[in-house]
Structure formats: C-alpha cells, structure tokens
Structure 1
Amino acid sequence: MRKLLLAFAFLGICSSVSAQQENIQTPPAEPPKAVKKPWYESFNIRGYAQVRYNGLFETNPRLGCEQCDKSWGDGGSFFIRRIRIIFSGQISERVYFYIQPDFASAPSSNALNFAQIRDAYLDVGLDKKNEFRFRIGQSKVPFGFENLQSSQNRIPLDRADPTNSAVANERDLGVFFYWAPTEKRKLLSALVRDGLKGSGDYGIFGLGIYNGQTANRPDENGEPHVVARLTYPFAIGNQIIEPSIQGYTGKYVITSASAGTELQTDREYIDRRVAATFVLYPKPFGIQAEYNIGEGPEFNTFTDAIEVQELHGGYTTLSYMKQVGDQIIIPFARMQYYKGGKKHELDARSYRVRDLELGVEWQPFPALELVAMYTFSSRRFEDFAQQENLQEGSLMRFQAQLNF
C-alpha cells in the first residue's frame, strides 16, 4: 500500500512540473487587434417626410404665407412639405460630415417637389474631444433657436416670421466656429434624442462668416455677413432652461424687384439684427420665446422704393408634454408679431403680422407624428403690385410626419 501511494505522489509531481514547463514555454495569447472600419461603414442614414392639408375651414383664400407654406391660400390642398434623407458620420477622429437633400422643394406654388441641397458641410475638430471645431460648407446660420431647431422636432407647422425672416431656409454657405465642453455637447444632443424638442448641437459659443444671400444662392457683393451666438443650457432640479443671445450684420443685395420699384444704385442694403431667446424644455410644461430687433431692406408704399427700415417682432410658444402609455400628446399655443421687411421676397415685401395658433401633436409611436392646428391670422404684406393688402382669416391645418 505504501508503494502504491508513493507511485501516485510521484505521478502527481511529474504532472505538475510538466504543466509549469508548458506554461513557461507557451506565451499567453495576444488579444485580437481591433479592426478599423472603413469610413463608409461609419456613417448612418435617416430622414423624415411631411404631408399636409391646409384647406379645411379656410375663411379667406387670399390669406397666405409665402415663406411658411406655399399651399396656403387659394387652390391649396394636399401638399408634400418635406422629404429629407440625411447622410452623416464621423469618418475620422476629427472629421464629421453631414449631407441633407430635400426632395420636396417648392420654388413657387406652381412648381413642386424639386430636389435641392439643404445641408452639405463637414466639421473639423481642433482637439481630440472635438470641443473646438470649424464647420465648413452650407449649413444653418446660428441665429435663432427655432431657426436651428429641425423641422422634424418643431411643434408648430412653420417657423415664426420674426426670426425666420432673418435667413430664408435658415441656411447659407460659409465657415463657422463652434465651441462647447463635452458635457454640454452631450446635453444638447440629449435634448433632441430624448424628444424634448431641442435645437441640436451648435455649440455654447458660435462665430461665423457667410455669403449673406441665403442658401443655394450665389454671393453678390464679396462682403460676407458676420454672425455670433452664445447659449447656455442648464438644469434646475428636474427642469432644463436655455437662454441665448445672438446677432448678425452685413449687407444684403436685392435680386428680385418689380420694374417700377426704386432701388439703390448698387442694390446693397444694411442687414443686421440682434435677438434674445428663452427656452424652458417641456418637462412637462414648456416655454419657447424669442424676440429680435434690427434694420434691413423693406418696401415703402409711400415712395415705391426699397429702403433700410427698422424691424422688430417675436413669438411665444407654450406647450405641455403628456406621456400616455407609449404615446405622447403635446397640446400647444403660439402667438407671434412681426413688423418689418422680408428681404428675400419680391421687392423686400413689407409685413405686419399678428398670428395665434392652437394645436396638438400626437405621437402614437416614434415613427409617426400627427399634428392638427388652427390658425387665426392677420397679415399685411405689400410690394409694388400689392399695396394696402391686408388679409385676415383662419384655417385648420393638418400634418402627418414619418420618421425613419
């Protein structure tokens, strides 16, 4: 028995020594190296589409809003407002690209559903965290919260006249510098991702130069506009507040005028504004308010001339976000007032706008949003051919939005 135990002990020692030698001779396996993805596998595709109907309970077919929605007014019916497909991605550590065409552009009420570039730009980071970056190309001009807010996220169907009259289509071609610390960039992104109707990440501070003739139009004078914006979102308990200030200055060249309208010889007009913004994100009650003042080209009915005149106006949107199971319901109201010109319209049309909009947005599921909105409007819009043109009325408006 003693010999048997000695034999087992000897075998165990030999086995242990052999295993130790094997461990010494065989190095541990190296972890697999991360395979770098090709750039074309690092971008994503998303988009949205909007279909509207504006003809229900319309009391005045002559009441319209050219900049808002070309299906307003006489003959308006079903209308594809937007079809956007967005291509974007971080193609390297410091380079990000974003391209967004629209397949439902409407240059006039009789020409619909043209394809046109909305955004085409790249962001170049100056540090590894991309807290400092330059944006180069055609993109949104950082003036006005609602202008920066995507139409996919905005609650009312159209942007308000007071701030949207600053930059038609909200975009222009230029170079913009943005700065925001990482934690604020994450917050700005979360305000959109979490459905709180944020404006997106345009930095805490922005400064840029751009052509000044608005998107998809060539520069006319070689003198860029200059814009600057400062915003600061922060939390107080469960609430998130974002105040902002912004302003721009430049000279706008009138390119669309009636034969009898008097113009300055060089067609150049001072174009500058400053604006203040206050946003209380809907958790559940929300407030979004902006007001701007400035001066710019406007048609004068007494002289039949386009002249530099003062402008001012603002809006306030009130909302309440209610979660009902997996669905979201947002009743809202918006009031707006604007007195001034719209430089990008014929003869830099003169406007006096007073609107009240009451509506509700219903999100039965994330891929579909439905909006019903009743608009009470008083609009005086005058150019060389249309003078003493005050139109008042109301209408019911509907929109179905697909998100993909």
Structure 2
Amino acid sequence: MRIGWFVTCMLAMTLSLQAQEKQEEKWYERLSLGGYMQVRYNGLFETNPDLYCEQCDENWGSEGGGLSFRRIRFKIKGQITPHIFVYFQPDFAKSVGEEHFVGRVKDAYVDVGVDEASEFRFRIGQSKVPYGYENMQSSSHRIPLDRDDAMNSGMKDERDLGVFFYWATQKQRRLWKQLRKAGLSGGDFGMFAFGFYNGQTANHYDENKEFHLVTRFTFPITIGNQVIEPGIQAYTGKYVVTEHGSTIEVNPDGYVDQRVGASFVLYPQPFGIQAEYNIGKGPEYDVATQSIAVKPLQGGYITCSYYIHKWGQDFYPFVRYQYYDGGKKHELDARSYAVHDTEVGVEWHPFKHFELVTEYTFSDRRFEDDVNPFNHQKGSLMRIQAQVKF
C-alpha cells in the first residue's frame, strides 16, 4: 500500500511539473511584431522647385520628384520579464550618399524596471530623447506629414544613444495606455524624465567626450471626457559641427547647445490643440562673418484638429502654423533659418490599418549656408501620403 501510495504521489508531482513547464511562457513568446510604411508624392501643384526642407523630406523640391518611400519600419518589442522590456526598430527608407532604401537602426534599447510595475525605469540604448511632445510621438500617429522645424531642429531623428530615467504613476501610465489604444497618443515617456546622451544625434559617435543632459516634466489631466497635457523640458550640452564646407573653420570642442521649451496638448475628443514653443542658443551660420557662431534661436507651432466619425470612417481635418528663427546644427554649416509655414489638410482612415493624408503647404523659408548665403524662397504645394500600419 505504501509503495503504491508513493508511486501515485510521484506520478502526480511529475504530471504537475510537466503541466507547469507547458504553461510557462518562453521569453520569445512575449515578443510582438509591428510596423508601418509611408509612400508620398510631394510635387502636386508645386509653385517653386527651389523651395525645400531637408529635415522634413529629402524628396521635397528639385532634388526629389515622383513617388517616394518616407518610412519603412518594422518593430520587435516585448516585456520579456517583469523588469525587462526590449524594443528594436530599423528603418529601410533612408538614403546614404547615392544609395537609397538603406537599412538603419532607429531604436534599439532596453527598459529596466526598478520595481515590478516599472513606475521607475531606466532606458538604455538608442531611443527618443525626451524633449518635445511632437518629437516623442511616433510618425505613424502624427497628423501633419512632418515634425515642426522649431522643436525638431534640436533633435534630428529625435533619437540619440543615451541613458534616461523615467518615472510615472500607475494611474498616469494607464491613462497613456488608453490614449494609445484610442490612437490619440504614441507612447509613455513618463511624467518625469532625466538623462544623458552623446549629443551628436542618432547613429553618430560622440565627438567631444561631453554628454548632453536633458530633463522633462509633464502632467496629463482628465477634465470630463477631455484630456490635456502640459509639459516643460530643457537640454544642455556642446555640439560639434561635422557637416561644413572646407573654407569654414569650426571649433573642434563644440558649440554651446541649449534649449528650454513648453508644450500643451488637448487630445482631439473631438477638438484638439497641440502647441509647443522653445528658446535657446546654438550653432548657426553667420552670413556677415561667413562663419559658424553661437546665436539665439526661438520658434514653435500650433496645430488645431477635429475628429469626425462618419460613414464608419475617421476624418481628422487640421491646420498648423509654425515659426522658427535659428540654426540647424546638423545641416551643412549649421544652416541659418527663418521659417513661416502654414499647412491645411485632412487625415482619412477609410479602412482599418490604412490612412491617407492630403495637405496643402504655404511656405516662406530663408535658409542660408556658405554655399548659398542669400537664399529666400516662397511657394506652395500639395503633398499626399498613404500609410499602412500594423
């Protein structure tokens, strides 16, 4: 009897362990695959082919033409343990010299949660720098085709290699998750952020052994069925200008690169407002001395949109005005800019996973460097983008 009882217990324990092994999820089973692709045409009703925006879209203007891929991205992500979240995203629509559709790393980072709820977490690797609300939002969620010049000029590609600390309460993280599911927001970057990064933008090595420092604070507030999110942010460091003409002398130790900005978001339920403004100083080409100097900068934008659900489809008509006066440190000779742009358009979701954006741009841009020191262009054009998102 005792032997039979012992054998029965052993069999039961073995079956129980086997069941646990079968139920235990492997780390790779916690990964998910997603992405999006954007196809554009920028030349409809174009009035001035000499008007372009290098940072916005390399296929806008006389150097472009025809249909083009703006982004081809695939992402692999997952919470592989209670404390570890991984994220990897390449882009296959980049150009390097004369080579087009070259694959490059956009994001490659790990989130290390200090607690199991990850209210406190560290993000290590190449990721978005927590500066500017629009900079941090995915391009698959943004309504206008491009990010604004004023905030984005401080963070080309929005990313860099660094270490960032994020903190947010569970309540606020749940709110961001709800906004993300509703398609109104693209990420959770904490209520408070602080970190350091190389400062030469994504996929570039550090040039002066001095980190940039950045911090941000935001506080989303629910008022009835509306959500508003005010925020402030700032960064400081020294930027080494690497894109310059042979006749331009540059400081190898870098130029002071500092900004402070404010953000305000009213999520479109149905009326939406998104506005940001920043001031600071940084490297900028000076026409008078034909050199690069540290000069003041300022600028911002405001976007107004309205959500319409009709005939089983979603529509987001919008208008945006943007202004920027300052340098773009990552462009040739830290190119000097004065920008006044107005965009009017609509984003249409006829089917699930598919979006179509049409916008008309009225642009007034002065952009000068040592090759083209007197360059003021005005014009307008219609731009169209089709996006599939999965």
Q: Establish whether TM, by shorter chain, passes 0.5.
A: yes
1:84-103 aligned within 5 A: 84-103=73-92
1:220 to 207, 221, 242: 207
1:81 to 62, 70, 86: 70
2:289 equivalent to 1:303 = yes
Could you give the per-residue CA deviations for residues 28-69 of structure 1, whole angstroms, max 9, x where no partner exists?
Answer: x99864721111111100100000001110000000000000
Q: Which residue of 1 aligns with 2:190?
A: 203
Query: Following the alignment from structure 2 to structure 1, what is the Cα–Cα distance between the partners of residues 179 and 46?
Result: 36
- Letter matched to residue 95 of structure 1: I
1:106 to 84, 87, 95: 95
1:167 to 121, 139, 155: 155
2:150 equivalent to 1:145 = no
Following TM superposition, by how much is the alpha carbon of 1:128 offset from its aligned partner in structure 2, in angstroms?
1.4
Query: Following the alignment from structure 1 to structure 2, what is the Cα–Cα distance between the partners of residues 301 and 226?
Result: 30
Instruction: Assess if the C-alpha contact under 8 Å between 1:254 and 1:267 holds in 2.
Output: no
Q: Which residue of 2 aligns with 1:17?
A: none
1:230-241 aligned within 5 A: 230-241=217-228
Instruction: Assess if the C-alpha contact under 8 Å between 1:260 and 1:304 holds in 2.
Output: no
Query: Following the alignment from structure 1 to structure 2, what is the Cα–Cα distance between the partners of residues 300 and 187?
Result: 46
Give the alignment's Cα RMSD to 1 decimal. 1.5
2:33 equivalent to 1:45 = yes
Q: How many residues align?
A: 375
Q: Which residue of 2 aligns with 1:3?
A: none
1:247-266 aligned within 5 A: 247-264=234-251, 266=252
2:365 equivalent to 1:379 = yes
Following TM superposition, by how much is the alpha carbon of 1:111 offset from its aligned partner in structure 2, in angstroms?
3.6
Q: Which residue of 2 aligns with 1:328?
A: 314
Could you give the per-residue CA deviations for residues 95-116 of structure 1, whole angstroms, max 9, x where no partner exists?
Answer: 00000000111245x5421100
DSSP-derived class of the 2:157 partner: helix
Following TM superposition, by how much is the alpha carbon of 1:348 offset from its aligned partner in structure 2, in angstroms?
0.2
Could you give the per-residue CA deviations for residues 287-310 of structure 1, whole angstroms, max 9, x where no partner exists?
Answer: 000000000000000000100000
Give the TM-score normalised by structure 2.
Answer: 0.94
Query: Following the alignment from structure 1 to structure 2, what is the Cα–Cα distance between the partners of residues 210 and 199?
Result: 22
Give the TM-score normalised by structure 1.
Answer: 0.90
Q: Which residue of 2 aligns with 1:18?
A: none
Q: Which residue of 1 aligns with 2:49?
A: 61
Moved more, 223-232 or 255-264: 255-264
1:116-135 aligned within 5 A: 116-135=104-123
Q: Which residue of 1 aligns with 2:6?
A: none
Instruction: Assess if the C-alpha contact under 8 Å between 1:145 and 1:199 holds in 2.
Output: no
Following TM superposition, by how much is the alpha carbon of 1:360 offset from its aligned partner in structure 2, in angstroms?
0.3
Instruction: Assess if the C-alpha contact under 8 Å between 1:310 and 1:340 holds in 2.
Output: yes
Following TM superposition, by how much is the alpha carbon of 1:267 offset from its aligned partner in structure 2, in angstroms?
4.7
- Letter matched to residue 217 of structure 2: L
Instruction: Assess if the C-alpha contact under 8 Å between 1:146 and 1:199 holds in 2.
Output: no
Query: Following the alignment from structure 1 to structure 2, what is the Cα–Cα distance between the partners of residues 39 and 307?
Result: 51
Q: Which residue of 2 aligns with 1:245?
A: 232
Query: Following the alignment from structure 1 to structure 2, what is the Cα–Cα distance between the partners of residues 366 and 192?
Result: 16
Moved over 3 A (4+): 29-34
- Letter matched to residue 68 of structure 1: C
Query: Following the alignment from structure 2 to structure 1, what is the Cα–Cα distance between the partners of residues 376 and 253?
Result: 27
Could you give the per-residue CA deviations for residues 216-255 of structure 1, whole angstroms, max 9, x where no partner exists?
Answer: 0000111100000001111001110000000000000111
- Letter matched to residue 390 of structure 1: H
Q: Which ranges in structure 1 are unaligned for 5 or more consecutive residues?
A: 1-25
- Letter matched to residue 285 of structure 1: F
